[in-house]
Amino acid sequence: MDALLHVVENYGLWVVFLCVLLDQGGLPMPAYPPMIVTSALAVDTQHSLWPILVVAVVATVAADLLWYAGGRRFGAALLRLMCRISLSPDSCIGRTRRLYGRFGPPSLILAKYIPGFAAVATTLAGETHTSLRRFLVYDALGATLWAGGAIALGALFHEAVESVLLELERLGQYALILIAALLAVFVAAKWWQRYRFLASIRMARISAAELSDLLRGGAAAAVLDVRTPERRALTGWIPGSILVRDVSELALGHDEEIVVYCDCPNDASAAVMARTLKERGYRRVRPLAGGVEAWRGAGLPLDVEEAMIGPVSERADAVSVGAPP
């Protein structure tokens, strides 16, 4: 306990800064426990809590600025990379796009409290060219709220924190084993969650070339776009495709050819929609492998006019498409 007090008194702010910076930078470094412990010991030793808050906020905003700059420079490519190396399901991009598209930069205020949202949201802010000033205002508010929560917990429950630290000191080397075991269980649980998700969306896909040949051959096919309206309008869409907001809007034959596409890692959002459609009795449903990026990469045409949003029941001139122009 005395050794821990010595470390916190002399290096506590640096420990908080480093842990928060790494945590918000995307590495598996827990930031809340160091902030709680440092705050609790600060109360016990009658030190001010403000330096802890300032250091945590500065570290958080610094890490978020890196994500913001990366999103501004690399856009969707960085988002796909984030979800590939993350232990969270790949649908995080689609979910975060919808939340950020609905609430915009103010969503950054609560972003730290939404699992899988914070880093993706800050990257989206850069990708969508949110002004730096606006980003900094909302991100700093969110960082203050997030860090302030940990500091408040440490201050309010400082006696409980001290009891836990004393117990860990009593356990000695077994405490390190226990902490390592808990961390291993956490990582294993996240890995299993991701594995189950990827297994659930494993299904046959159609390539961009195959879809192009299908449409050029005059086949009646429903091409469904499950991205957000903002993303569709920003990057363009496959000619004749329909923006789908709700499965209940669909008025398609259960034996009709249906292709679903998105722009997320592992075609996650498209595969989830395809699985939902199959569960509702639609038999010939396939995600587009690689999504709209694969279509663009194959040199195939994209429409860039105003996005068409409407019930798919009005599909006489829209959902059944032939060859793209």
- Closest among 76, 98, 99, 29 to 291, alpha carbons compared: 76
| Beta-carbon contacts of residue 203 (< 8 Å; ≥ 6 apart) | 271, 274, 275, 286, 287
In this predicted structure, what is the pLDDT of residue 314? 39
Q: Tokens 């997320």 appear where?
A: 264
pLDDT tens-digit profile, the chain (325 residues)? 445 555 556 667 888 999 899 888 877 677 888 899 889 888 888 889 999 999 999 999 999 999 999 888 887 677 666 666 555 555 556 667 777 777 889 999 988 887 667 778 888 888 888 999 999 999 999 999 999 999 999 999 888 887 776 666 666 667 668 777 877 887 787 778 777 766 767 788 999 999 998 888 877 788 999 888 878 888 889 998 988 877 777 778 778 889 999 887 778 888 888 888 888 888 889 999 988 889 988 999 898 864 344 444 333 333 333 333 3
**pLDDT value for 313:** 37
Distance CA 152, CA 281 (A): 52
| 43 contacts: CB under 8 Å, gap ≥ 6 | 49, 154, 155, 158
Task: Write the DSSP assignment of 151-177 as a string of letters.
Answer: HHHHHHTHHHHHHHHHHHHHHTHHHHH
CA dist 241 and 224 (Å) reads 5
Q: Tell me the H-state helices in the chain.
A: 2-24, 32-44, 50-74, 76-85, 92-103, 118-127, 132-156, 158-171, 173-200, 208-216, 229-235, 268-279, 291-297
92-103 helix and 76-85 helix, angle to the nearest 10 degrees:
130
Indicate the domain borders of the chain. Answer: 2-200, 208-321
Contact 40, 47 (CB under 8 A): no
Task: State the DSSP code for 206.
Answer: B
CA distances from 214 to 153, 163, 220, 241 (A): 59, 68, 9, 14
Q: Which fold has domain 208-321?
A: Oxidized Rhodanese; domain 1 (3.40.250)
The per-residue b/e assignment along 96-133, b for 16 or more CB within 10 angstroms, e otherwise, is bbbbbbeebbebbbbbbeeebbbbbbbbbbbbbebeee
Amino acid 321: pLDDT: 36
Sorted by sequence, the CB contacts under 8 Å of residue 31 that are 6+ apart come out as 16, 19, 20, 22, 23, 24, 56, 150
Q: How many whole angstroms separate alpha carbon 11 and alpha carbon 24?
A: 20
> Would the pTM of this model clear 0.85, i.e. be above it?
no
Nearest to 65 by CA among 165, 10, 132, 115: 132
